[in-house]
Amino acid sequence: MAGFWKKLFGAGQDPGPRARQVTPTVNPKTALAQHPVVHLETKGQSLALSLPLWVEEPAESETPPTYEHILWESRPKGEYLYYLAGDFEKNEKGLLRFGTAPEEFRVVRSHETDVLEQARTELPNSEGRDWRQLFDGETCGSLVDRIARVAPDPGEGGWTLAHVTGVDPEVGMALMRVEPGAGLDGAPRTSLIFRKIVPEGPEVPVEYGVQILAISRRAETSVIELMDGFRRLIDRYRDMPYTEVRGAVRV
């Protein structure tokens, strides 16, 4: 497998935990045709929503996989993958097709400067509140109807709810984004997003960020179950320590 990616992207100097910028030598269709068949096996199920579990790395792992070895139809941007669960479609080479899972949980780490700067600007502070009471009995479809009654225009990027996740601002930044019609078969896409940035310091040679995602692309998903999985992953990965990871690429 390593030989395939070296052939596709070419060799380069080791950039440390930051991603190596690469230019593919062939188009995506040809790259897939040349890709060896892989046999990805599930590692069980996620605790929330009982989704197929593909990646489960401890927070202190020094060898997390990267997107290009597991996910297809997504351009890698230097992500290290610590957790991935979802009922993804597979392509003809056995890779998971990005964005095809009706529900998905994902935890990634990034050392990319532009990714961290974007995180700083787009995520407001969260606030602790009783999210279970707030979403009791709610599905992602009924949530869209509820929001639309008070805010009919979702705007280009959907509705952003900044203070509904119950995440304490001292833990990290979190929000919910609801995009009507952006899911599967016209369903809403409901995304819970957590980000924490760890600045450089005596024990952190290179700044990094931790991102936790819980995504539903169908109307029937229980908001409480999606939120429950999201909060479990925050508890598990929010204090991810610095480790000497290597191998991420950007395309």
- Using CB atoms within 10 A of its CB, is residue 161 exposed (0-12), middle (13-18) or buried (19+)? middle
Alpha-carbon distance of 39 to 67, in angstroms, equals 15
- Write out pLDDT tens, residues 25-76: 899 899 999 999 999 999 999 999 999 999 999 999 999 999 988 999 999 9
pLDDT tens for residues 201-244?
999 999 999 999 999 999 999 999 999 999 999 999 999 999 99
State yes or no: pLDDT of 15 exceeds 80. no
Proportion of the chain above pLDDT 70, given as a percent: 91
Rounded Cα gap, residues 141 and 126, in angstroms: 23
Query: pLDDT (tens digit, 9 = 90+) per residue, 163-193?
Result: 788 787 788 888 899 999 999 999 999 999 9
Contacts 24+ apart (CB under 8 A), 94-97: 94/37, 94/38, 94/39, 94/40, 95/35, 95/38, 95/40, 95/70, 95/71, 96/40, 96/54, 96/70, 96/71, 96/72, 97/71, 97/72, 97/73
pLDDT of 2 reads 46
pLDDT score, position 40 = 97
pLDDT of the residue at 38: 94
Is 170 a member of any domain?
Answer: yes
Domain-embedded: residue 120: yes
Q: Is the pLDDT of residue 155 over 60?
A: yes
| pTM of the entire predicted model | 0.92
Are the C-beta atoms of residues 204 and 187 closer than 8 Å to each other? no
> Does residue 225 sit within a domain?
yes
Residue 93, both tokens: 């080479």
Is residue 65 a part of any domain in this protein?
yes
Residue 52 domain flag: yes
Instruction: Provide the domain count of the chain.
Output: 1
pLDDT in tens, 75-129: 999 999 999 999 999 999 999 999 999 999 999 999 999 999 988 887 666 555 6
Q: What stretch of H or E contains 209? A: strand 208-216
Residue carrying structure tokens 């960020």:
209
Any domain includes 24:
no
Amino acid at 154: P
Angle between helices 140-150 and 223-237 (to 10 degrees): 100
pLDDT of residue 5: 47
List, edge to edge, every strand of the sheet that includes 173-179. Answer: 53-56, 80-86, 103-110, 208-216, 189-198, 173-179, 159-161
> Closest by alpha carbon to 172, among 217, 236, 113?
236
The answer as to whether 20 is a domain residue is no
Predicted pLDDT at 87 = 98
Other Cβ atoms less than 10 A from the Cβ of 123: the count is 20
Query: What is the rounded CA–CA span in Å between residue 27 and residue 31?
Result: 6
H-helix or E-strand containing 175?
strand 173-179
Domain range for 61: 37-74+81-241
Q: Is residue 226 part of a domain?
A: yes
